[in-house]
C-alpha cells in the first residue's frame, strides 16, 4: 500500500520543498499547485509548520506560502484489495450541484440542535438532467447525496447482491440508493478536519474550543483521514452494500453531512467485471468491540 498526502498550495518556499515530479501546476490566481508526498516523509513536519503559521496569522493572502485543502490517498495492489472482507467506496465523480438546488425537499425539523445533522428526504431526489454525467455509474453531489445509474441497478439485481433498494429519479436512467445496513465506525478510526492540523483529533478539544464530534448526537464534524475501521456485525456476511451509522462533514450552505459507504468483494467484482465507473476502493478494517 502506498499512502500519499495530497495538498493544494501556493508559494515559493513550499514549491522548493518538493521535487518536480511531486507537484503539478493547477494555475489560478497566485499559481496554485497540487503537491503529492509519499507518507511518511520528514517534510510533512515542515508543511505542518507552514500550516500552523498561516492559521495563526489568519493569512488568506494567496501570494505567500499557503496550503488550502489537503487529504490522504491510499493506493493498493490487487492482492491487498483482495485480502479484506469489506472495502470502503471512494466516489471519484462529484458533481457541483445538489438536490436542494434542483427542487429536492428535506425536512430539517428533527435535526440535531447542535450540528444540524439528521435531515429527512421528503420529496424525490431531483437533479437537473443536464448535470447528470454519463461517464459515471456512482455519482456524488457536493452536498453528499448519492446517485446510481440504471446500469448499476440492473447489475446489482443480476449479480444477486443484497443491501440496496433504489428509487427512480425524475430523470430516466438514474436512481438514488436506499441502503439500510449500517456499520458502526470504530473509535480507532482517525478523524480530523485537515491532515496538517494534528491538534484537532477526535476526542480532543481544539484551541478555538470546538470539538470534532457533536456532543449531542455524535456526528463527526470532520472527515476520515485514514483507512476506516468498522465494528464487526452479522450483517457483513449477508449484505453487499453498507453505510456508516455515523455521518461526517459539515452543515454549511448546501454542504451537508454524509455517511461512508462500504461494499463486499462481490460488489467490487461486479464493478470491475461490468466496468462500472465512479469508484475507487479503499481497504476497510473490521474490529471486534
Residue from 53, 80, 107, 114 in contact with Zn ion (CB under 5 A): 114
How big is the site for Zn ion, counted in residues (CB under 5 A)? 7
Eight-class DSSP state of 102: G
Q: Which residues of 82-118 are buried (b: 16+ CB within 10 A; e: fewer)?
A: eebebbbbbbeeebebbbbbbebebeeeebbeebbbb
97 grid coordinates: 450541484
**Angle at CA of residue 142, ends 136 and 148, nearest 5°:** 30
**Angle at CA of residue 50, ends 45 and 54, nearest 5°:** 145
Complex with Zn ion: residue 70 or 219, whichever CB lies closer = 219
Please report whether residue 85 would count as binding Zn ion according to CB under 5 A. Answer: no
**Of 118, 124, 120, 119, residue with least CA distance to 104:** 124
Please report whether residue 216 would count as binding Zn ion according to CB under 5 A. Answer: yes
Residue from 18, 97, 112, 132 in contact with Zn ion (CB under 5 A): 112
User: Min. distance of Cβ 225 from Zn ion in angstroms?
Assistant: 20
Please report whether residue 210 would count as binding Zn ion according to CB under 5 A. Answer: no
Beta-strand relationship, 86-91 and 261-264? antiparallel
**Of 95, 29, 70, 43, residue with least CA distance to 192:** 70
User: Min. distance of Cβ 108 from Zn ion in angstroms?
Assistant: 13
User: Min. distance of Cβ 113 from Zn ion in angstroms?
Assistant: 8
CA–centroid distance for 28 within its chain? 25
User: Min. distance of Cβ 13 from Zn ion in angstroms?
Assistant: 39
**Angle at CA of residue 230, ends 224 and 235, nearest 5°:** 135
Complex with Zn ion: residue 116 or 265, whichever CB lies closer = 116
Please report whether residue 217 would count as binding Zn ion according to CB under 5 A. Answer: yes
Which range binds Zn ion by CB under 5 A, 10-18, 69-77, 106-114, 130-138?
A: 106-114
Contact between residue 206 and residue 212 where contact means Cβ atoms under 8 Å apart: yes
Which range binds Zn ion by CB under 5 A, 17-25, 105-113, 173-181, 267-275?
A: 105-113
Which range binds Zn ion by CB under 5 A, 16-24, 168-176, 216-224, 277-285?
A: 216-224
Please report whether residue 231 would count as binding Zn ion according to CB under 5 A. Answer: no
Complex with Zn ion: residue 229 or 246, whichever CB lies closer = 246
User: Min. distance of Cβ 115 from Zn ion in angstroms?
Assistant: 3
Please report whether residue 111 would count as binding Zn ion according to CB under 5 A. Answer: no
- Helix ranges (H only) for the chain are 12-17, 43-57, 78-82, 150-158, 235-238, 265-273
Complex with Zn ion: residue 185 or 276, whichever CB lies closer = 185
Report the interface residues with Zn ion, using CB under 5 A.
Answer: 112, 114-115, 214, 216-217, 219
Amino acid at each position: 500500500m502506498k499512502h500519499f498526502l495530497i495538498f493544494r498550495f501556493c508559494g515559493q518556499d513550499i514549491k522548493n520543498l518538493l521535487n518536480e515530479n511531486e507537484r503539478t501546476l493547477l494555475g489560478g490566481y497566485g499559481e496554485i499547485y497540487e503537491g503529492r508526498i509519499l507518507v511518511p516523509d520528514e517534510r510533512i513536519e515542515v508543511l505542518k509548520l507552514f500550516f500552523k503559521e498561516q492559521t495563526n496569522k489568519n493569512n488568506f493572502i494567496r501570494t505567500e506560502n499557503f496550503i488550502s485543502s489537503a487529504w490522504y490517498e491510499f493506493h493498493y495492489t490487487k492482492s491487498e484489495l483482495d485480502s479484506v472482507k469489506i472495502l470502503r467506496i471512494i466516489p471519484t465523480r462529484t458533481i457541483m450541484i445538489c438536490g436542494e438546488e434542483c427542487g429536492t425537499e428535506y425536512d430539517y425539523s428533527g435535526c440535531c440542535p447542535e450540528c444540524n445533522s439528521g435531515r429527512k428526504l421528503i420529496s424525490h431526489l431531483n437533479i437537473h438532467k443536464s448535470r447528470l454525467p454519463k461517464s459515471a455509474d456512482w455519482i456524488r453531489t457536493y452536498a453528499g447525496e448519492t446517485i446510481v445509474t440504471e446500469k448499476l441497478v440492473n447489475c446489482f439485481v443480476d449479480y444477486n447482491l443484497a443491501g440496496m433498494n433504489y428509487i427512480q429519479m425524475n430523470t430516466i436512467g438514474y436512481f438514488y440508493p436506499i441502503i439500510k445496513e449500517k456499520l458502526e465506525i470504530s473509535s480507532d478510526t482517525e478523524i480530523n478536519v485537515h491532515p496538517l492540523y494534528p491538534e484537532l483529533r477526535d476526542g480532543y478539544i481544539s484551541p478555538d474550543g470546538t470539538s470534532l464530534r457533536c456532543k449531542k448526537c455524535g456526528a463527526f464534524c470532520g472527515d476520515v483521514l485514514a483507512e476506516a475501521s468498522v465494528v464487526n456485525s452479522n450483517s457483513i456476511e449477508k449484505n453487499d452494500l453498507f453505510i456508516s451509522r455515523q455521518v461526517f462533514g459539515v452543515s454549511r450552505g448546501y454542504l451537508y453531512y454524509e455517511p461512508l459507504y462500504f461494499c463486499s468483494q462481490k460488489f467490487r467484482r461486479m464493478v470491475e467485471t461490468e466496468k462500472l465507473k465512479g469508484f475507487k476502493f479503499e481497504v476497510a478494517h473490521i474490529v471486534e468491540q
